[in-house]
Structure 1
C-alpha cells in the first residue's frame, strides 16, 4: 500500500468502526462479557493507541532515528503484518500495557469519542503527507506486542486495529 492508499484505508477503517458503534443502542454500547471491554472501552482503547502514533509521526526524523533506530529489513505487507498480529494475540495474556487500557466510556460520551477519533485520524493523515514512501520503510517505531516495526507496518497495524476491535464488539454482542 502506498501513502494514498494508507490514508484512504485509515479513514475507511475508523469510519466503519465509528459508524458501527454509533448505530448501537445504549444497552449494546455498554454491554460486554465479564472482564471484557464494551464498545465504549474498545473506542477508548483505539484513541489511546492512535494518539501516540499521531504525535510520533510529527517528531523530527533525526529524533526518531536516535530514539528507535532504523529498519534492518523490508516492511512486511499488510496481510503479513495482520497475520503476525493475529499470531501474537494467541499468546497474549492479560491486558495491554497500562497506558492502552481503556477507561469506562458511558453511552453519553459517544459523540465526544467519535469526534476525538476522527481528529486523530485526520492528524495522522496530515502528518503522513510529510513522509516519503522510502521513509515509511526506513524508520521504525516500537509496538507493545509486535516489537520494532517500520512506520509503514505501524500504519498497517493501525488500519487493522479498528477492524479487529469492531469484530470483537460484534462477537461480544452475539452473547446478548
Structure 2
C-alpha cells in the first residue's frame, strides 16, 4: 500500500471502531462480564498503542536511526497481519504500559475525543514521510520486534480492526435477550 492507501485504511478503521463504541449502550461500554476488557478498556488500549506511534513519527528522522536500519524489506499488509496472528496464537499478552485501567462511563466522551485526535495526528504525520522513508526506518514492536514505519502503520490499522472485530463478535454472542436482561440486572 502507498501512503494514501494507508491513510485511508487508518481513517476507515479508526472511524469504524469509534462509531461502534459510540453505538454501545452505557452498560455495554463499561462492563465486560466475561473477564475480558470492556469496550471502554479496549478503546483505552488502542489509545495507549497509538500515542507512542504518533510520538515516534513526530521525532526528527535522525533520532529514529537510534533503532537501526531495516534488515529486511517491509512486509505487505497481509504478511504482517499473518505474522502478528501467529504470534498471538502463542499466547502473547499486552505488556504493562498497554494494559488499560478501570474505565468508567464518564470516560467515554474524553476517550473518543482523544481517539479521533490521535487518528487525525497519525494521518497528518504520514504526509511528512516519503514512500522510501516508510521503508528505511524502524521502530520496536513488543511482539514483532523491529519493524519498518510502513509496517507500524499497517499494524496500527490492523490492530484497530482486530479490536473492533473482537467487540463485534462478543456483541453477536450477547444477542440472546434473556441473557442480556439478566446481565443488566446483575451488573
TM tier relative to shorter chain? over 0.9
In the alignment, structure 1 residue 71 sits paired with structure 2 residue 70:
yes
Instruction: Identify which range, 106-115 or 15-24, moves more after superposition.
Output: 106-115
Q: Map 1:23-172 to 2 at 5 A.
A: 23-65=23-65, 67-93=66-92, 95-172=93-170
4+ long deviations beyond 6 Å: none
8 A Cα contact 1:81 1:153, kept in partner: yes
**TM-score, structure 2 normalization:** 0.89
Distance (Å, rounded) in 2 between the aligned partners of 1:77 and 1:32: 34
Larger radius of gyration: 2
Distance (Å, rounded) in 2 between the aligned partners of 1:2 and 1:32: 38
- How many equivalent pairs are there? 174
Query: CA shift at 1:29, angstroms?
Result: 1.3
The CA RMSD over aligned residues, in Å, is 1.2
SS in 2 for 1:168: helix
8 A Cα contact 1:71 1:137, kept in partner: yes
**Structure 1 unmatched ranges of 5 or more:** none
Distance (Å, rounded) in 2 between the aligned partners of 1:16 and 1:123: 17
**TM-score, structure 1 normalization:** 0.94
8 A Cα contact 1:137 1:151, kept in partner: yes
Distance (Å, rounded) in 2 between the aligned partners of 1:122 and 1:28: 26
